[in-house]
A and B are shown apart, each in its own frame.
Chain A
Amino acid sequence: MAMPYRECLAVLAAQRRDELVVTSAGNSSELWHGITGDTERTFYLEASMSMASLFAAGLAEGIPEAQVWAFSGDGAFCMNPGMLMVERDMDLPNLKHFLLSNRAYGSTSNVPLPGRAQNDYAAIARGFGIERVWSFETLGGLEQGFDEAVRSPGHGVIVLELEPVTGKHGSPPMDGPEVKFRFGRYIERTYNRTIFSAPV
């Protein structure tokens, strides 16, 4: 079974409190912006494949008082599954890694992913030594298990089985530097960090 992509993200958006979010290329960035309209607490890392979760780890490591969510598409994840080795070693209690599995390269016309029928992402995560791994295939299951998977402390990987997205959705209407400054200014004033005004 698989969940409708947009509806699944809508569940996450409804449950979200003040978490920082790092999205991945394509669908997750486009749909998350479409649902939330967020331009401050989300870093839309559209220009990346496989780097969203460690980008989020850099945030989570430096801002331990923040909760950080990372979205990885399974196409991106399969390009660099060893990211989980690093996440396991860092073991950041404030980082949750959502693996959005639609078994396709969703941002490139849903070209099928190799191994799409067999890939077991939860097993891969456990194989890298990650203990807190959840997998959800239904919206009801996600809503029921959300608190245990996401609210409880500890680094975790949450696999979300999703349907491929049909149709094209627009990118967040911001160039890269605007994404950086909006997000960074929010970090500066919310978490009292010095980012852009640090002396050089």
Chain B
Amino acid sequence: MNAPPAQAAPAQADRAASRYSPEVAAAIAEECAQAGIELVASLPDDWIAPTIAAFDGDPRFRHVPVNREESAIGLCSGAFLAGTGAMALMGASGLMTLVYAITKINYTYEIPVFILITQRGSLDDVAKFHVSNGLYLDQVMRSIDLPNVTIDSRNRLPLIGEAYAHSRKISRPTVAILSKKLLLGLA
């Protein structure tokens, strides 16, 4: 039996089709590189398709597409103990699945991990199926005392490095949230 034919990497395909800004994606990747991030574990979200493609095509990073968000937390947590700067990149829905992994691994062992997510469910998100993120994402993060910062314009992109460093400083996870207008290149 023959194996199915190989297909183009999804990240590359999305990059051409996405209306989200490749320039902003490149700027995000640059901030991450400057911060010392070398390994990026990603789950897709339409808003960050160009961002994922940017990491995938940048030799400064080892980009690892993972099967679910908990896998990203496991991988990044192990990477920390190898001395590798790591980041988990995902949509807001992904973070909503991570209460178990964050509290069990990162809080129990005091292992830092930096998580970059989208602000799905915001007022400008037209997807009804992300309404729950708008209603509960902030409350979920507060319920587990998860420090976070919203990045809603290009001049706030340096907060990526600060949030990453803060995670290392406090030996806990931190989150940076990317707004839609930023990712569209409108802010």
Contacts and interface: CB of A to CB of B under 8 A. Distances in A.
A51 B73 contact: yes
B118 to A, nearest CB: 21
A48 interface: yes
A5 interface: no
A195 B110 CA distance: 13
B62 interface: yes
Contact of A86 (B39, B62, B64): B64
B79 A62 contact: yes
Interface in A55-85: 55-63, 80, 82-83, 85
A58 B86 contact: yes
A6 interface: no
Interface stretch (B49-57, B101-109, B127-135): B101-109
A186 B49 CA distance: 39
A186 to B, nearest CB: 10
Interface residues on A, range: 35 or more
B123 interface: no
B8 to A, nearest CB: 15
Interface string A180-200: 100110011000011100101
Contacts of B80: 58, 195
A80 B67 CA distance: 9
A61 B111 contact: no
27 contacts: A43-B81, A48-B74, A48-B101, A48-B105, A49-B100, A50-B74, A51-B70, A51-B74, A51-B101, A51-B105, A53-B74, A57-B75, A57-B78, A58-B39, A58-B84, A61-B84, A62-B82, A62-B84, A86-B66, A89-B64, A176-B110, A179-B109, A180-B111, A183-B81, A187-B81, A187-B83, A195-B82
Interface of B: 36, 39, 62, 64-68, 70-71, 73-84, 86, 100-101, 104-105, 108-111, 165-166, 168-169
Given A51-B105, A58-B75, A200-B169, 12 more contacts: A48-B101, A51-B101, A58-B86, A59-B78, A59-B81, A86-B75, A177-B109, A187-B83, A188-B83, A195-B80, A195-B82, A198-B36
